[in-house]
Structure formats: C-alpha cells, structure tokens
Chains A and B, each alone.
Chain A
C-alpha cells in the first residue's frame, strides 16, 4: 500500500518539479548563444525585404524614423530558440529560459527602442558622417547599430530610454577641408579669403578682414605669398595674440586654421505623427 502511494506521489512530484525547479537546475546559456541572439535582436542578418517589405515605404532621397516592435523581435528570438526542441514538454522549459535570458539579449540597461533609415546619396558620399541623436527630453541616445544595408541605405538603431526625436548629421571632422571663399559660403567674391580669429574670445569665428588669394597660373595658389599676407591683418585685429597680448608666430598650423572651410551639419526632426483617430 505504502509503495503504491509512493509511486503516484513520485510521478506527480516529477512533473511538477520539472517546471518549478527548471530555473534552479538549468545550466547557464552558452555565451555563443546569447551573443548570436543579441546580434539578431539588433536585426543583423535579417534580409532587407523582411525589414522594409515595400520599397514605397522608403522612396529615394528620404529618411524614415521608426520605433522597434519588441514583439517582432521576441517572435524572431523565439523562432531562433526553437531549434533543437524535441518534445512539447520542452516548450515550457524553453520559454522560461528564453524569458529569463531576454534582459541579457536585449540589453536591459540601455534598451534599443528606435532608429532611422536613410536612403540617400549622402550614405555613399559620406560613409563616415557623424550621427548624433537626442530623445524628446533632450537626452543623448547611443548608437547601438549602424549599418549600410546597401550603397545608399543606412540603418541606425538608437539605444536609450526614449525614442529618437532629433538627429544631427554632420560631415566627419576629419573631412574638415580647406579652401577659399566661395559665393555659397559667405557671399564674398571668389578670389578672397576671409580671415578667422585664432586666439582670444573670438577664436574660430570669422573676422571682418579678408585677403586676396594670389594665384600663379589657373587656380594654383601661391601658397607662401598667401600665408605671408595673412600675418599683418591678423596681428592688426589682435586675433593671433598670446596671453600677454603680443603676436604669436604664424606657422603651418595657424595657416591650416585660416584655410578651413567649415563642416556642414544638418538637423532633422522626427515630425510628430499627425494625431490619429
């Protein structure tokens, strides 16, 4: 009698125990599995048509903001986690393990919630352009993933507590380039160079002084003569003085600062969707 009772007891205990204690007995997920799931969480390897099912969603020369559908990501992870499941009994255990691993996969501290798709010639022309995004509350968002899906299509995913509201695109600082005044920049006539303050409170900002650009032949600049002509107006404006107020030497680095044409930057805001029904 006692044995029979013990056996039924054991069967019940076995079933109940498997789920209740799965968490305690489960070995930790291999790092390779967590790493792969984290990469897929950021939609690595996902073919473009699955991300953007209709090309009309993304016409040429356009930028589209989005938030991530966590349910889609979880469905994807659940599909990826279903591999190697041999019995329905395992489903509940797997589900428990996957739910427990979700924070590690999704980066709980700084979840990826939003992003943008940019389809434009700038992606090809400026592959290293800088991107800085802020949320609606002004907090900076980190870039969780940045990938050129095609030549002209850039995907950026942002991590932070809010979704992206404003993005500043700028030419990379290393592509700060050099040149002389052109009509688009300053309206100044071609053939001159507007000087820029090097020291003092106005450092970096343009001065009223311009110098003519001496040319040798065609558009080849007589560089040494141009450099020499800059010293006097700069010193006259006190724009290259040391702390003591006397002029500093004018060398290649001061010349480089003078010759910079600034980098361009553009701010794009996520227009709030017009209110729904």
Chain B
C-alpha cells in the first residue's frame, strides 16, 4: 500500500524523436560506373516525400489535458504555483520558442488576478489573426503576435488560416511582469512517471506518464475571497524576442506595440481563501463528523426494532406506507446500508426473499412494542422489479431464458415420465431401451391386457 506516498520518477524533459512540423525526406540513389573502362554514367534516382508531424499547436486535444492545479473553484492555495498536467508527456518540448532551443518548453502558465493584473478577455479568432502578413488577418496594428516575432510563422500541414483559435491580448507591461524569462522556461516544465500505481485497489489510480508545466507566480490567500485568479496555458512558440529580459527592460521587439496576442490552450479560474478549505481542512473542520449510518448516537446490536429509539439506532426511519388495501400507515424502512451486520436467512429457509412471489410476502411485522411493519425488504423487492421492467434488454433476456428453461424442463420431464411408465432405466443404453420395448410389446401378459 503506497497510496499516500507513491513513488514518482521525474525527468527534466521528454524530447520527442521528431518535433512537430513539416519535414522533407529525400533519398538519392546513385547508379555509377566505378570502373574506368566502358561507358561512364552517373545517374541519380531521387525519392522525395513530405512528412508532417502533427502536434497540438493552436488548440489542445482534450485527451491531452490532464488535471489542473489549483482546481477550479475555491480552496486554500497560498504560496502555491499553478500547474497543468499534460497527458502527452512530450508536448511541452514538441515546439520551440526560437530556433535551436531544443529542451526549452514552448508552453507556459500565466497567472492573472482580479486585483493587480486583471485577466484579459478570451477572444475567438482565426489562425490568420496571429500574424499581420497572413491573408485576411484582422490583427490590430498595436498588438504584437507570433508573426511579429517569427516572420516565417504560417499554418503547417493540416492547419488552415481559418482554423479557430482562442486568444488573449495581454497588456505589454503585464506581459513583461508576468511572463517567464527565457532562462526560466526550462525549469518550469518536467515529465514524470508514477511508478508504484495502486490500480488494483483503486480504479482511479492510473499509472501516469505525464508532463507538467508550472507557473512562475505564487498564489496569495485572500481571506475575503474577493480576489479571483485566472490561469492560462499559453503558447510561446517563436516568441523568445518578446520574453522579458534579465533587467525587465522593454524588449525592442515590443517597442511599437501595446499588447501581445497569445494563443490560450486552456484557462481556469479559482479563488484562494482561508486554510480551512484545504483537503485536510475539510476533514479537520469542527463540523465534520464520522461514524455509523444511524439517526441515533449509539447502535445497539438488536435484530429488529422493538422501540422507536432502537429502530433509529439500527438505521430505520419511519415512512408513509400506502398498503395494498388502501390504508395509510407508517412503517419502518431502511436502505441496504446498515450500521452493523444483519443476519440473513439461508437461501431456501423460510423468509428467504428468493421464494417470495410478491413484495408483501417480505413485509415483516414488528410484534413487540411499535406495532409497525418493516417494509424494507418489500420495498427492495418492488424496486428491483421496477428497475428490471425499465431495463428492456435485461427483461427480454430474462424472459427468453425463462421460456427456454421451461421448455427444457418440460421435455426432460416428458422423457422421464415416458421411461418411468415403461419401467425402463432412463439412463440405459438406447439399444437396451428398444430391446426392452420390443420385449414388452410381445410379452404375452401385456398383449393380453391390451383392449382388442
């Protein structure tokens, strides 16, 4: 058991064998006469293929997105860094922030908050809107984007100018303060693998090989709960010229712009509040109670309710009961969850539910003090029947089986009756049965008994 302390293997990076992009593959085959004699020739046969390695670029395949931290909603996340788990472990290293920066991730988590750095609005745009040189681009003149940092920016194989993207326009000053520096990026992503998975006992414990992209800004707790944080996983592909420098001075590449347009691959919001809303805080809270499932404080080990107090302790509640005769009364009911082990009649014994032909056969009368029926098992029977009737596939399969079983039983009984009436061993060899049949037919005594 290592659920509370699983072993996790960390990797500094997980670089794919081929980065995403288009590749030209050319194989040249020379046929040449190497000998000085004879006809000299040198012919080249060229085999060329274009291959494209596709990868998430302008949108994230939902199957590649794992958990985000902090989870959306409220919680205590003070002094934590937000992060995104990516189920495709090579994803952060599939593209580059500039040429020949292999090993530096192209993804980053930017953290905005409602008080100091308001989160930019997410806008719907197209791939063309990411570079002003592309046909049909509606990129504003004061906003810098991928095409301004990397002039060769263009859709790759399988992508088109009209592909939808979700973008945020980040104010230049905010970008300079919040974005990681190029030197920070390699530290902010890693891959890891869960080694000792506990999948046998917990179906959610999936042995994961994942990549994580971590933010560079700490979350602060706000006791008033007014401060809303918004985190964006953004693409920094080709944007090295925009990233803040060591002295946080204005980057020349951004001099003529007021904002930076970034592709946001996922975004979520959360509020960091008081420490009671941590995971352990929920369980440690004064109001949190645990114990057996009853309405009473103590659970006496009694088989059936004798007083109302006992009944509550045993998990019963009193419910309205409309009887078959139309009366209204109150009966005890409890569900399948009981505070202690309950004795059950063996199959075939009296009171076994399998032999009940209708739910009323399972009503129990408490003849001690309360004088009420216990309708639990009758209700369970009725509920089972109703759910079975609702499930057409089940009820048809069951009905078909019952007919088959009845037919098989009838045939077998007929066979047995026939053999028994002729006083033949039913398991005998068929040849012997026939011999004995013939013998009986021609037995003078039997012949004599037959009516003429």
Residue of A43, A184, A190 with most chain B CB atoms under a 10 A cut-off: A184
Among candidates B201, B302, B385, B389, residue contacting A143 with C-beta atoms closer than 8 Å: B201
A242 to B286, CA, bound (A): 47
List which B71-109 residues lie within 8 A (CB) of chain A. 71, 73-75, 78-81, 83, 85
A265 to B198, CA, bound (A): 16
Task: Let me know if A270 is at the binding interface, CB within 8 A.
Answer: yes
Task: Let me know if A245 is at the binding interface, CB within 8 A.
Answer: no
A17 contacts B201, C-beta separation under 8 Å:
no
Task: Let me know if A208 is at the binding interface, CB within 8 A.
Answer: no
List which A212-247 residues lie within 8 A (CB) of chain B. 216-224, 227
Among candidates A53, A58, A75, A83, residue contacting B362 with C-beta atoms closer than 8 Å: A75
Closest to A126 in B: B279
- B interface footprint on A150-178 (CB within 8 Å = 1, 0 otherwise): 00000000000001000011111111111
A74 contacts B354, C-beta separation under 8 Å:
yes
A255 contacts B187, C-beta separation under 8 Å:
yes
Closest to B290 in A: A63
Rounded to whole Å, the gap between the CB of A58 and the closest CB of chain B is: 7
A92 to B356, CA, bound (A): 10
Q: Which residues of B contact A61 (CB under 8 A)?
A: 282, 285, 287-289
On whether A143 and B12 interact (CB within 8 A), knowing A10-B417, A30-B400, A63-B288, the answer reads: no
Closest to A45 in B: B387
- How many residue pairs at the A-B interface have CB separations less than 8 Å? 445
B282 contacts A121, C-beta separation under 8 Å:
yes
Task: Let me know if B267 is at the binding interface, CB within 8 A.
Answer: no
A64 contacts B387, C-beta separation under 8 Å:
no
A265 contacts B4, C-beta separation under 8 Å:
yes
- B interface footprint on A262-277 (CB within 8 Å = 1, 0 otherwise): 0111101111011111
- A interface footprint on B255-299 (CB within 8 Å = 1, 0 otherwise): 000000000000000000001011110111101111111110111
Task: Let me know if B141 is at the binding interface, CB within 8 A.
Answer: no
Task: Let me know if B449 is at the binding interface, CB within 8 A.
Answer: yes
Task: Let me know if B434 is at the binding interface, CB within 8 A.
Answer: no
A132 to B294, CA, bound (A): 24
Among candidates B200, B337, B399, residue contacting A142 with C-beta atoms closer than 8 Å: B200
Task: Let me know if A56 is at the binding interface, CB within 8 A.
Answer: yes
- B interface footprint on A95-123 (CB within 8 Å = 1, 0 otherwise): 10111001000000000010101001110
B288 contacts A264, C-beta separation under 8 Å:
no
A253 contacts B203, C-beta separation under 8 Å:
no
A99 to B300, CA, bound (A): 31
B408 contacts A115, C-beta separation under 8 Å:
no
B398 contacts A83, C-beta separation under 8 Å:
yes
Residue of B340, B354, B382, B404 with most chain A CB atoms under a 10 A cut-off: B354
A169 to B405, CA, bound (A): 48
B8 contacts A223, C-beta separation under 8 Å:
no
B283 contacts A168, C-beta separation under 8 Å:
no
A227 to B189, CA, bound (A): 13
Interface residue SS majority, chain B = mixed
Interface residue SS majority, chain A = mixed
Rounded to whole Å, the gap between the CB of A19 and the closest CB of chain B is: 9
B401 contacts A29, C-beta separation under 8 Å:
yes
A57 to B313, CA, bound (A): 11
B79 contacts A181, C-beta separation under 8 Å:
yes
Residue of B69, B208, B275 with most chain A CB atoms under a 10 A cut-off: B69
Rounded to whole Å, the gap between the CB of A233 and the closest CB of chain B is: 17
Q: Which residues of B contact A54 (CB under 8 A)?
A: 295, 317
B335 contacts A70, C-beta separation under 8 Å:
no
A71 contacts B345, C-beta separation under 8 Å:
yes
Binds A, one of B45-53, B54-62, B372-380: B372-380
A221 to B178, CA, bound (A): 9
Binds A, one of B119-127, B144-152, B154-162, B216-224: B216-224
Task: Let me know if A251 is at the binding interface, CB within 8 A.
Answer: yes
A216 contacts B362, C-beta separation under 8 Å:
no
Among candidates B10, B298, B404, B418, residue contacting A10 with C-beta atoms closer than 8 Å: B418
B299 contacts A273, C-beta separation under 8 Å:
yes
B177 contacts A57, C-beta separation under 8 Å:
no
Rounded to whole Å, the gap between the CB of A249 and the closest CB of chain B is: 9
A178 to B408, CA, bound (A): 67
Rounded to whole Å, the gap between the CB of B387 and the closest CB of chain A is: 5
Among candidates A71, A75, A85, A227, residue contacting B402 with C-beta atoms closer than 8 Å: A85
Rounded to whole Å, the gap between the CB of B3 and the closest CB of chain A is: 4
A266 to B285, CA, bound (A): 12
A120 contacts B338, C-beta separation under 8 Å:
no
Closest to A28 in B: B401
Task: Let me know if B381 is at the binding interface, CB within 8 A.
Answer: yes
List which A17-39 residues lie within 8 A (CB) of chain B. 17-18, 21-22, 24-27, 29-30, 32-33, 36
List which B196-234 residues lie within 8 A (CB) of chain A. 198, 200-205, 208, 210, 212, 214, 216-220
Residue of B10, B345, B446 with most chain A CB atoms under a 10 A cut-off: B10
Can you name 4 extra interface pairs (CB under 8 A) apart from A13-B417, A70-B342, A75-B377?
A27-B401, A53-B317, A121-B277, A276-B302
B residues near A, CB below 8 A? 1, 3-4, 6, 8, 10-13, 66-67, 69-71, 73-75, 78-81, 83, 85, 116-117, 177-178, 180-181, 183-184, 186-190, 192, 194, 198, 200-205, 208, 210, 212, 214, 216-220, 244, 248, 275, 277-280, 282-285, 287-295, 297-302, 313, 315, 317, 319, 333-342, 344-345, 347-348, 352-357, 359, 362, 376-389, 391, 393-395, 397-402, 404-406, 408-414, 416-418, 420-422, 446, 449
10 contacting pairs across A/B (C-beta < 8 A):
A30-B398, A60-B287, A63-B290, A79-B381, A79-B383, A97-B405, A130-B202, A184-B275, A256-B10, A273-B301
A residues near B, CB below 8 A? 1-3, 6-7, 9-11, 13-14, 17-18, 21-22, 24-27, 29-30, 32-33, 36, 40, 43, 45-46, 50-54, 56-85, 88, 90-95, 97-99, 102, 113, 115, 117, 120-122, 124-126, 128-132, 134, 140-143, 146, 163, 168-182, 184, 190, 216-224, 227, 251-257, 259, 261, 263-266, 268-271, 273-277
